Structure 1
Amino acid sequence: AQFPGASGEPPGLYLGDREAARLGIAPATIVTIASPRPTLTPFGPQPRAVNLRLAGLFHSGKSEQRARAALPIERAEQLFGADRPRRLLVTLTSLDAATGVAARLSSRVPEGSRISTWQELNRPLFFALRLEKSVMFVAVSLIVVVAALALIADLSLIAANKRREIGLLIAMGGSAGTLRAAFCWLGAMLGGIGTLAGAAVGSAAAVILDRARLIRMPGDVYFLDYLPFAVPVRDLAVIVAVTLLWALACSWYGASRVAQLDPMAALRS
């Protein structure tokens, strides 16, 4: 969300567009804001209230920011008291710079102040995401193992259908190493084509779903109103490498079984 102050917007009250729609107010409306902290007077506690003109609306994809209101700090001090601890939010252009900026600010803020980065505030969420990522990697690995076993079955089926031809090739002087290399390359080619095609289709689908924001989510429940997708190159490279290694290992196993074929038994079949 773009809050007023840094962009030169006129001072006033700013509300999230969904919150304003829920309250039924529009820009230029005079809004009365009351504080939960009353003022003690000789006549008893009196509520603190100020009238502010709704200067504009802002939109945010984060649910935690939709219910926020932005107003001049002088008005906020009038409502909540100047002695109330302040909380300042600093928005950076780069998320990775948060740790460095926090370290530089620690020597400039008043003593007793606490600086928290977005990584520290969302540490439980990041732990859950890392755990989910690890579990998903195990699940994908199991799928790759099943696909590799299917590759062995395919090579065995090809060898069974070409049993006489393989026996004739061995009888004509073909070595076991030649057969092993041929079937190993065949399995590696099948596994490589499937792996690269799957990686390309999956990456393209993730990019399209992310840019078009096709999978929507209820914004009042989750942090975002759509499901974002990202394809880290490192993760993609690890998955492709593991898949190719599995395909190569299973191809070698299947090719070794073919190389052990008895040529005389194959010719008699």
Structure 2
Amino acid sequence: MTARPAAFAPFEWMIAWRYLRARRAEGGVSVMTWISLIGIALAVAALIITLAVRAGFRAEFVDTILGANAHVTVYNSGQPNEAGRLDRTIADYAGMAERIVAVPGVTRAAPLVKGQVMASANGGTSGVEVFGIAAADLATIPRVANPETAQGDLSRFGGEAIAMGSGVARSLNLTVGDRVKLISPDGVKTAFGTSPRVKTYEIAYLFTAGRYDIDQTRVYMPFDEAQSYFNREGVADEIEVMVERPEQVDAQVFEILRAAGDRALVWTWRDSAGSFLRALDIEDNVMFIILSVLVLIASMNIVSGLIMLVKNKGRDIGILRTMGLTEASVLRVFFLCGAATGVIGTLIGLVIGCLFAIYIDPIFALVDRLSGGDVWDPSIRGIYALPALLQWQDVLSSVGLALGLSFVVTIFPARRAARMNPVEALRYE
């Protein structure tokens, strides 16, 4: 009894390799192979680049939120004051901050005074949001104390020296050492009503937190000075809380609430950015599906090439079958032809996609220069550059999807070749 050849024997690889190198005179099979290979490579590269940009954008967006904003904001529920207005200020802010910072996992609890004012300098005006905060607490905010770019000395923050976002300074043509006038409509209370409060401050520090909306609107003022400026003597508006694991902040909300007291309410960073993050998740899923269809379309070129190959090699298949080649061997030969195209195209796409993601900054700078600039508008997208973050799970999912589709679509034309009747194939030869 003749032994059956092992699966994917060397002669099957040899035949598949010869077919892949088909000459142009043999029906343009080599051209179809190149088209299939290039299509898969571009589809895989596009999928990897898109997933890397998506991951980088999300990581940068979350990092700017966590690096310059409170992970948890604690404030009081409204209570009527003597004038009949709801009062949300915190009188025992020092004690509340001490109790909150004692909660396991909490790294900092800083009292804040907040208000919106008009900044005026050099004939220009800009609406800004003032954060009154102690100098020691300001130094612990990562994106402010250690920003992407900074000017001035943060140690000079105090008294009538303030810290300002670079966007505000740029719009008012200010720099370190200049003075800016802050105008608050809720100012000095007199017998004739409330008159606006106008005071001039020196800019001691300019920061770029990496978020357009923060750099364009935020000003930090010493806590004591903010209490006086906004008529908050002896009280704070809220407590800014930072935690060790911001991604798991929901698990700590109950403990923070219990430490803060009966009137306390909380607002986490997920509450403020949750809708945007959910929109990003939906967009991620939709983009993956769309690009998966693109990979499928590219993989279908393999089917076209193999069908042409099977048609052109009908005589060869008949001869091989009469020589004793089994249906399984013929199937494996043509499966190798299609799978090789998918594997090589996927590897090329993997290299292109990874290199593009790694060198996205110089590539995007070139695109920006060729297009005349302003391709990426930070006022719309919130961050200043297009980021990319390669994650192994994204790369593996892209490669796995491309290889899986390439292997699956190859089976059908390969089975057609294996089931070809050798008598019919040789009838007119």
* Equivalent residue, structure 2, for 1:251: 410
**Residue 208 of structure 1: how far off its partner (Å):** 1.5
Give 1:25's match in structure 2, choosing from 174, 183, 192.
Answer: 174
Partner SS for 2:195: strand
Q: Which runs of 5+ in 1 are unaligned?
A: none
Partner of 1:183: 334
State the match for 2:162 in structure 1.
13
Task: Label 1:97 to 1:190 Cα distance change in 2 as closer, same or farther (>3 A).
Answer: same
Preserved CA contact (<8 Å) 1:30 1:54 = yes
C-alpha displacement of 1:45: 2.4
**1:258 shift after superposition:** 0.5
2:345 corresponding residue in structure 1: 194
Give the number of the structure with larger relative contact order, counting CA–CA contacts within 8 Å between residues 6 or more apart: 2
Q: 1:147 aligns with which of 292, 295, 298?
A: 298
Q: After superposition, what is the alpha-carbon deviation per residue over 1:140-163, rounded to whole angstroms, capped at 9, x for unaligned?
A: 221122122211111111222222
Q: Give 1:199-218 correspondences, 5 Å limit.
A: 199-209=350-360, 214=365, 217-218=376-377
Distance 1:34 1:107, change over 3 A: same
Q: Distance in 1 between matches of 2:396 and 2:138?
A: 42
Superposed CA RMSD in Å reads 2.7
Out of 221-230 and 91-100, give the one that drifted further: 91-100
Q: TM-score of the superposition, structure 1-length normalised?
A: 0.87
TM-score, normalised relative to structure 2: 0.57
Alignment of 1:10-159 (within 5 A): 10=156, 11=158, 12-66=161-215, 67-82=217-232, 86-90=237-241, 95-96=246-247, 98-99=249-250, 102=253, 105-159=256-310
Paired with 2:423 and 2:307, the residues of 1 have a C-alpha distance of: 19
Contact conserved, 2:186 with 2:194, CA < 8 A, in 1? no
How far, CA to CA, are the matches of 2:251 and 2:264 in structure 1?
17
Equivalents in 2 of 1:202, 1:94: separation in Å? Answer: 32
Contact 2:227 2:236 in 1 (8 A): no
Q: More strand per residue: 1 or 2?
A: 2
Match of 1:220 in 2: 379
Q: Percent identity?
A: 23
Does the aligned pair in 2 maintain the 1:39–1:48 contact within 8 Å?
Answer: yes
State the match for 2:398 in structure 1.
Answer: 239
Query: What is the Cα deviation at residue 167 of structure 1?
Result: 1.3
Q: 1:219 to 1:91 in 2, by over 3 A?
A: farther
Query: Which letter does structure 1 place at the counterpart of 2:224?
Result: E
Q: Distance in 2 between matches of 1:20 and 1:198?
A: 45
Residue by residue, what CA displacement relative to the aligned partner does 1:4-29 show, whole Å, maximum 9, x if unpaired? 43356222211112211221222222
Segments of 5+ residues of structure 2 without an aligned counterpart are 1-66, 69-136, 146-153, 369-374
Q: Which residue of 2 aligns with 1:169?
A: 320
Between the aligned partners of 2:254 and 2:399, the Cα distance in structure 1 is 38
2:412 & 2:241 partners in 1: Cα distance?
58
Q: 1:179 to 1:201 in 2, by over 3 A?
A: same
Do the aligned partners of residues 224 and 252 (structure 1) sit closer, same or farther apart at CA in structure 2, a change above 3 Å counting?
Answer: same
CA contact (8 A) 1:156 1:254 kept: yes
Cα distance change, pair 126–209 in 1 and its aligned pair in 2 (3 A):
same
How big is each residue's C-alpha offset from its partner over 1:201-229, in whole Å with a ceiling of 9 and x where there is no partner? 11221221158764662223321111222
